Structure formats: C-alpha cells, structure tokens
Structure 1
C-alpha cells in the first residue's frame, strides 16, 4: 500500500500521507533521510532523494515541498509530480508504478470513494443516568477495582498446533479453564490483514447498517447508531470523545467480512452449529448466527461481568490493540453469587469479585488468541482502541455447565433477544444425531466425556418432553415450536430413548432392571407419575415404535460358593446401618460373627452387529449373611 499501512477512506491519508513504517521496509532504507511527510500534505525537504521517474530537467528544479507515493507492489517511492497523472494524491487508494503494471496487467490504480460527512450529533449530558443514580462516568468501573485482590491467571499458554481433539481427549482438564495462544500459527484460523480498520468494516457491510452500541457509563444500549456513524466516532482522537461507547454484538456471518474470517479448526471441530445444524437449513440464514463477531472498543471501554449466552464457549482474537480480562471460575458457589448479583441493584453498586472466592487477570495484545470455556464469568477492559474477531460455540464436552447457565438466564429473566438463538432447536438436532449414532454403534464409539455430555443433553431434552406433556398451553406451544419436525417426529420418545441408550453405552446394566412398571414410568398420555416412581430406564425400552435388537444366543450359569464365617456390624432396628453395607465388608471389621453363603450368577449374551458381533458378560455376586441369634439378608 502506498504508505505502508492501510488508508482510511475518511482522511487525507492517501498514497503519500505518512512516513513509511520503517526504513527497512522502504527502498530508501540505505539512506538516513527517508521522506519527511506531514499529515495531509506529504512532502520531502531533501531534494537529493532518488526518484526512479525523475528526469534531468526535473532535478534542476528546487521544490520547497515535495509529495511522494509508494508503489503497492515493489514498495518503491516516487515523486507524485513525476509519476502521477495530475490527480490529487490524497484521492489515491491503491497505486502501482508502470514497471509493476507492465509485469502484471491485473494491477489497477484505484481512487478512494468520497469522504463521508459525519452525521454524529453533539452528545448531550446524560441527565437520565445522573437522575437514576447510575452516573455518567465510564471510569467508575475501573475505580471499583482499586484496592481489590486480583491474581495473575495461571491459565495455560499453548501453541496453536497443540489445540486439537487429541489434546481434548487426553487431558482431563482440557476446556475447563481459559487457554491463551500467543501466535495464530497452527490454529487453522483465518483473519483479516493486520491493517484492516473499522472503516473497512463500515465499507464492507454498509455505512447505513444499524448497529447496537453500548454506553459504557450505564452499560445500556445507545440509540440511533449506524456503522458509518460508528466509524466516524472510532476515528476521533480519544481526547475529543465526549462519551465512551463499545460494540460487542456485531455478527458478520453472511457479509463480505465473513470471507476474511474463519474460526480455529479446533472450534469448527467442536461447534454444534457447524456439525449438527442441517446445511440445508442454513440457506435462509435461519440458524444460530453466533460464529463470527466483530468487536470494536475504544480506549477506556468496559464490559461488565457476564457469562456468554447459554454458557457457550468463545474464541477471541486480537487483530489490533489490547484487552484486559478479569475471570471468575464457574464453581457452584460463584455461579450462585453471580445469579444473586445479576439483574439486581448490586450490579450497579458493588464489585462482583467481593462476592466470590478469587478473581484472575489476563492481558491480551495484538496477535493473541484466547479460548474461554463454558460458564466462565468475566469482565473486559479496553486500554486502547481495539479491533477483535471472535465467536461463540456450544459443544458436547461440558453440556451440564451450558444447561446450568441457561437456567440462570431464565431465573434472572434475561430477555430472549440476549440468549443463545434457537438453543432448544439446536439441542434437538444434536440429540437426534447422537441417537442415530448410538443405534448404529451401541457401545465403544464415544469417550466417557462425550457420553457424559450426551447424558446431560438427554436429561435436558427429557425435561423439555415433560413440559410438552404436562405444561401449560403456552409452554407446550413454545416447546413444540422448537422441535425440528424435519428430523424429530416424536420428541418425547426420542429424548427418552437417547437417555436410555446413552446410559447403556456408559456401562449401566439396564438389562437387569424389571420392566413391569413401564407404563407407569413413562405414561403415554403425559399423566403425572405416582409419588416415588422414577424415570429409570428399563430393559424393555418404553419408546414409541421402538423394537430392541434380540440376542442371538444367551447362556446363564450359577454356582454356589462355600459357606464361611466372618465378622461384620449386625444391623439393628432403628439404626442408620445401611450406608456401612454399601461398600465392601472387610472380614477384619469389628462385629458379631456371622455365617456367609455366596452365589455367583453369570449371563453371557451374543448377537450379530453391522461390524461383526457383540458379546456381553454380566456377573452378579449375591451374599446371604446369617447371625446365630437372628437372620438378616443383604444383597448387592
């Protein structure tokens, strides 16, 4: 580019509007006298500098002020009077010298679009906030930090190539705490060039596009903003900004910017929207658009404590500038404190860090990427004007936290427009796909963490099924509208079968459970269960149109063990004795002598599968304990 940096379409920063970035980047780097340019009027006062286009006649003239331009290809600097065509140098957007154009005919000189007049009105004093007691000072958030105990975060710093599914499976702590990647190499990520500007955002999306802007002082939405107005504001000198604003919710999927941004491969491998939402349903943009955000914050901007919607995880790349994050771990106690604090008067008068166990601090700078796992509570400070690209994603490795955060959003009455869009519908799509996988491969294809996530998802879908069966008419309608009938024909049956299969795949021995109370456990008419009944799964799965695979062969053996004498605590009526017998009973325990007879039952089942065969071996040991004076029986 003509100046070694991207030009704004709003200033006179044309082809020669500033000094080259560094002598090393300029063809004049062997000289000590690089072009000395002034804002708006690029010039050089040393007539001894070489210009490849100069003629003997032009060198004889003594120009008091000289305009220069740099070729965007070979980076050679020229006098504009020698190489230009009479056009105002300040109007040039991209310029190439004649040798470079001759070498590649696709190179074309372009001019800038006319500068836009700012429509920004003079900001009025925020009397509404003053009268409500909120204040209009954006610095008040940072003053809350003064004197607080904040620890440097102990989070891992990793290479981009280390962030992959193998790491996630091998490390039990993976995706349970934020991680920092200092360089983007190895992440499989695509970002705009480093000289990309807020002005480019406005040009690519459209200056008239409405924009949600946050007033930092009150943490509320400011009205009447467009991208063009925001670009004008962002380019102001910081000292001239009468108020501090922030942009954190500009989603750019489907715009020209989306061609420049690609999330890290690790994120794409996990993302539910990427992997489970039908591609045929994305054409109309009717899908959760949360994968590509452009965040634009000016110096002194503050985003108060929050959890990303539905406990979604976040990838966050600093293209320009810097951010300071403050983190609170999502423990049960901390989430409870956040729930009490969120949406109450405490939110405007207190520091959430005083209500939790500890607060961590992370400073990110240009080129850094961070991945924030599900549920982490955080606040963000912007020390300098900053441009960030990032996105949100749900995944299967921490479903329980995602559901927990969603419940907090409901409890604190977060408006639906600020929640994860189409969350329930996405969960149905994910559940349907996992159920089909479990049907095709009954066991052994999912890791324990994945199975735990599927079970948590199934529990959520079963709760949605109960609401559909037992809720009010309004609730029933809301739940029904979220079930994707293109994939899920019977929501309640699908949810319960998914839970049953997920538990079975996790190793629960459901085959030993009785199925005699099936109709009471899962009433087909949606009636409430009797007190004391549970929704435990059974061998004869009570799912509509469900036909379990039969076993091709079954073998049962039983053998009696020898009677032996041992000691153990004898159960006494009225005493809480049962817990002592749930574990192994050591023969060395104190207690009265008893006679113990054991019996071992073994069941082996075999059936064909699509890949070969499945063989199940179930072993059960029953012990009969009998004391001399009176008998009692405990089975395990």
Structure 2
C-alpha cells in the first residue's frame, strides 16, 4: 500500500493526491460541503485519491492496510481490501486524570459547576422583553430603571444590529482570520487558559461530535475588530450611542495603526456542556450578547453593595473552588436564550454562563455614562482582588480622561445633561481626583506629563457637585463639614439658596455679572447723645457698646449735640445662569456720627 493511503487536508486542496491543488474526489457530489480536514485514501491499483467519507464503509481509515476502489475490485477479483489487526484494549473503564489540574487542587471535573448547583433555589427571571425599536436613548432617559436590569430582545428587528449568516461556523472563523492565528482557549474544568491553540485546531475540535471530545473547552475572548469578520458585525444602535470608546475616544486616534480599547466585537464559541464561572465583565462594563446559533443559559446576581462585597470575598480566594457563590448572596436568577435572541447586560451584574449545545455568539463590551459609579466600584474590586491587567478593561484611565474633558466642556457650555448622567460624572470626577493625587505624589516626570490633570479633575468635580445640588463649600470631597455629618451625608442646598463661590479651586474664574444698577437714598437725623461720657482715645473697645446704647431712631433728639447721617445704598446685579437668570439685591446702611464741639 502507498505510504500516503491515509492523509488529511483542507477542503481547498486539490490535485493528484491530497497535497496537490487540482484533483477532486471522483465520488463527490458537485454541491457537497467539504470539511476543513478531509481524510483521503489512495487506490493501490489506479493510484486515484478518494475522500474516505465518500468511498469508505464506515471503518476508521487509520485501520486500512491496503485499499482498492470499486472499479479496480471489479476488474480483478483477486484484489481485496485489508485492515490492520487492532491493538488489544482492556474493556475496564478507566478515569482519565488531569494531573496538572490536580496539582493545583482544581480537579478535572468539567461538570463541577452543574454539580455545585444541584438542589439550589434559583428564581425564574422577571426581566423585560422588549422590541428592538423600543431600545433607544429616549427609553433610557424616560425610564428610571433602564440599563439597571438585563433586557432581552427576542428578535433583532429594529435593533440596528448586523450579524453574519446563522450558519456561520468555527470553520468560517478560521478561514477568515487564518488557521494559524493563535486563539485563547479556556479549559472548562479548571477555568484557566489552555495553551497552544490555533483557530485551525479549534475548528477541528468543534467539528468533532460531543462524545468524542476528551475535554471541554471554551472560546470567550476572541476580539475581531479590524478583521474581515468585523465587516459582518454591527452592534445595536443603543450600544453605539452609549459606548465611551465610540463617542469619546478621539476619532483621529482610532483605526488601523492606532492603539485604543478594542472590546466591541467578540466572537464566542462554546461547545456542549461548557460553562463559565461567576464573573463581572471588566470595569463593570455592560455587554450586548447575540445568539447566532445554539443556546445559552445565564445565571444572574444583582450588583447590590452586599452582593458585590460577597463577590469580592469569593473572587480570587479558595472559596472560588469550594463554594457556590449563589449561597452567599440574596438571590440567583436564570435566563435562557436561543438562536436569534439578543440580551443587554447592565453594569456590574454578576453572572455565570452554561452552554447546553454547541453555540456561536457575537457580542461586545461597552462603558457608558448612566451607571458610572458601578463601573468604578467594579474596577476597585478588580484592584483589591489583584486581577491581572491582562483581564482588565484596556486603557480605562485614559478613556476616563477623554470622557471628563468632554463633559467639562459641556458644563462650561451649559449643556442640558440627564440627572443620572450628572450623578455619574460626579462619581467619575471623584475617581479622577484620587487618580491625580497619586500623580501629584509621583515623580517629576509624571507631574510634567499630567500638569493639567488636577485642574480638569477638580473643576469637573466642582461643577458636577453644583449640578447635582451639593454646596460648593470646601474644595475637597470629604472636607470637615462633610465628615461631620452622619453617614457621610452631604448638605444639599435648597432651591432658594444661591450657590456659594467663596472657596473656588485654583485657576477657576466665575462668570462675570452682566450689569449692575446702583440706587442710593440719603437721610440725616439728629438723635440724643448716648448715656455715659463721650468716648475718647483710639481704642476700639468702646465702639460697639457705646453706639448700641444710643443707636435708636426712637430716642429723644432734642439737645443731644449729636448728628447722625444715615445713608442707605441698594445694589441690583444680574447675570445669566445655566437655567435662566440670577438677580442679586444687596442693601447696605452706612451711618456717620458727628458731634458738636
């Protein structure tokens, strides 16, 4: 038999043998869809190559010792197909141990998550099901609960979404991006990276039937921005309208050759029984998630302060491998998605994901301005639990400064911003002030590079505080007057209370008055000399008591020898404000006391 009787090759390979570029299998139908890797067999008599799935009889091609095509067998009855003697195998079932994972104390049970979940009380979800055309900025601004809970859009109509065809497969991904392109693959049993994978190897793995997969793997971090696949995908319009990278990152610093956060277009490929343990998407970013084919089951935990504290305790500790996080929180909710469904997951929601069947998903992450406080809270958890920078939102601080710069301009131009956004800007400003304090305490080079950052951060915070309704007393958040209030409650001004601008930060200049009118009213009155001797000397100690004793319009003025000139001044000043006009009236009384010598 020819040494090349059994070979594999890609479907594009043709020719006189499996390594040529011209030959096709004589038995293939014209419209047959070729597999990425085909098993070929060569006839010992005529040296013609055939696809084994076309010419074989169901046997494993690797067992073939000598093979003849049907025509050659009919031409010579002495010819016969022979097979290698199979190696002796024990019928006793053995457990395959994953020693690498055992050394790390992780075990090798790919269904560990499902076992831990058995018997747990899980609530059915009550999240909104919405039509695509209703998921808009107007909805976000009018509904106070918008983007605070997951929403499910069962059909993509009206969502402004574009996706590849529903039969798009891992083979197509490998063809578009290149079979030798490295891809990060997660070993489900250990929830850690499995090294040495390429897209070609992954496509071969997904082509296997579930029962032939020795281990369960998952692809959850293949970002495809700037590739041919990216041309097939457009996120929902609401995502594009909100995305900080889309709206705040300078357009001149995006595109080919520029470094910017690329987290908008992920291709996720999971096989049957794969799962991802509890996690929060980096920096508390929100997620859009479209099921192209297959299905997914999500388990959600609300991002309440108590639940986030439990997650922080659980994450990165031994509890992660021994305890189901659902036992440490108030409730777990279950959502099932099928092909064609789209879900938007808001900032900070803790979730785990199970894959019932082989599934292809496209989605992406985005930061936005309607829940900045939660995004920053999650970022702080990542720092506290020492999440490697590789798994954090790329260039988060730089993106935050671009956002701050834009919103500072909006404040200066009296832009009308939604209240939820203004509250978020205050949280962002507080975060940046803490960042610049680190910068100010750094070396001289870092100070030089960020010389404008402190002014931007502090002015943004001051303007955001006024817009939210806080007093501007004291530059620093948490000043003495704030800390003295119970539970850190800050004093809010009443509607009639004008904002105080006496303690402004460096380089701030308030808006000038647009005009002023002064009106003065004079009157002269002679009143009685106060009791006691006439004051003398240059000391100021006598002044208040002596004048208060006699400063009365009702006193007897006859024979007093004292002349009082009282002058009343009224000032009226007007200037524009963000919401209208401010008019300030100031009345002043000046008294001159003269006595006859």
TM-score with structure 2 setting the length: 0.69
Structure 2 counterparts to residues 410-559 of structure 1, below 5 A? 410-441=383-414, 445-470=416-441, 473=443, 490-508=452-470, 510=472, 513=473, 539-540=501-502, 542-553=504-515
Alignment partner, residue 250 of structure 1: 222
Structure number, greater radius of gyration: 2
Alignment partner, residue 153 of structure 1: 125
Structure 2 counterparts to residues 387-398 of structure 1, below 5 A? 387-398=360-371
- Mapped pair 1:386 → 2:359: yes
Alignment partner, residue 90 of structure 2: none
Secondary structure class of the residue paired with 1:337: helix
Contact 2:290–2:341 (CA under 8 A) maintained in structure 1 = yes
Structure 2 counterparts to residues 328-367 of structure 1, below 5 A? 328-367=301-340
How much has 1:141 moved relative to structure 2?
Answer: 1.3
- Mapped pair 1:237 → 2:209: yes
Structure 2 counterparts to residues 35-50 of structure 1, below 5 A? none
- Mapped pair 1:195 → 2:167: yes
Q: Distance in 2 between matches of 1:208 and 1:334?
A: 42
Q: Deviation digits for residues 527-548 of structure 1, max 9, x if unmatched?
A: x999999999961564444322
Q: Distance in 2 between matches of 1:224 and 1:378?
A: 28
Distance 1:465 1:603, change over 3 A: farther
TM-score with structure 1 setting the length: 0.65
Contact 1:604–1:615 (CA under 8 A) maintained in structure 2 = no
- Mapped pair 1:370 → 2:338: no
Alignment partner, residue 633 of structure 1: none
Structure 2 counterparts to residues 601-616 of structure 1, below 5 A? 606-607=574-575, 614-616=580-582
How much has 1:505 moved relative to structure 2?
Answer: 2.4
- Mapped pair 1:296 → 2:258: no
Q: Distance in 1 between matches of 2:306 and 2:483?
A: 31
Secondary structure class of the residue paired with 1:362: strand
How much has 1:604 moved relative to structure 2?
Answer: 7.9
Secondary structure class of the residue paired with 1:144: helix
- Mapped pair 1:207 → 2:179: yes
Q: Distance in 2 between matches of 1:451 and 1:272?
A: 15
Contact 1:397–1:449 (CA under 8 A) maintained in structure 2 = yes
How much has 1:480 moved relative to structure 2?
Answer: 6.3
Secondary structure class of the residue paired with 2:193: strand
Structure 2 counterparts to residues 50-61 of structure 1, below 5 A? none
Q: Distance in 1 between matches of 2:438 and 2:10?
A: 55
Secondary structure class of the residue paired with 1:303: strand
Structure 2 counterparts to residues 22-171 of structure 1, below 5 A? 67=29, 69=31, 125-171=97-143
Alignment partner, residue 49 of structure 1: none
Q: Distance in 1 between matches of 2:404 and 2:296?
A: 37
Secondary structure class of the residue paired with 1:397: coil
Q: Distance in 2 between matches of 1:136 and 1:376?
A: 28
Secondary structure class of the residue paired with 1:616: strand
Distance 1:494 1:126, change over 3 A: same
Q: Distance in 1 between matches of 2:572 and 2:167?
A: 67
Distance 1:197 1:501, change over 3 A: same
Q: Distance in 2 between matches of 1:500 and 1:148?
A: 48
Contact 2:224–2:265 (CA under 8 A) maintained in structure 1 = yes
Q: Deviation digits for residues 21-72 of structure 1, max 9, x if unmatched?
A: xxxxxxxxxxxxxxxxxx9966xxxxxxxxxxxxxxxxxxxxxxxx46499x
Unmatched segments (≥5 aa) in structure 1: 1-8, 15-38, 43-66, 72-86, 92-123, 523-527, 558-601, 621-636
Contact 1:12–1:40 (CA under 8 A) maintained in structure 2 = no
Q: Deviation digits for residues 359-388 of structure 1, max 9, x if unmatched?
A: 000010000000000000000000111110
Contact 1:251–1:289 (CA under 8 A) maintained in structure 2 = yes
Secondary structure class of the residue paired with 1:396: coil
How much has 1:617 moved relative to structure 2?
Answer: 5.9
How much has 1:234 moved relative to structure 2?
Answer: 1.1
Contact 1:290–1:393 (CA under 8 A) maintained in structure 2 = yes
Contact 2:280–2:348 (CA under 8 A) maintained in structure 1 = yes
Alignment partner, residue 144 of structure 2: 172
How much has 1:317 moved relative to structure 2?
Answer: 0.3
Alignment partner, residue 101 of structure 1: none
Aligned residues: 450
Secondary structure class of the residue paired with 2:307: helix
Q: Deviation digits for residues 278-309 of structure 1, max 9, x if unmatched?
A: 01111323111111000011111110000000
Secondary structure class of the residue paired with 2:513: coil
Secondary structure class of the residue paired with 2:351: strand
Q: Distance in 1 between matches of 2:571 and 2:425?
A: 28
Distance 1:489 1:385, change over 3 A: same
Q: Distance in 2 between matches of 1:201 and 1:192?
A: 11
Q: Distance in 2 between matches of 1:506 and 1:530?
A: 20
Structure 2 counterparts to residues 395-410 of structure 1, below 5 A? 395-410=368-383
Contact 1:320–1:387 (CA under 8 A) maintained in structure 2 = yes
Report the aligned-residue RMSD: 3.7
Contact 2:283–2:392 (CA under 8 A) maintained in structure 1 = yes
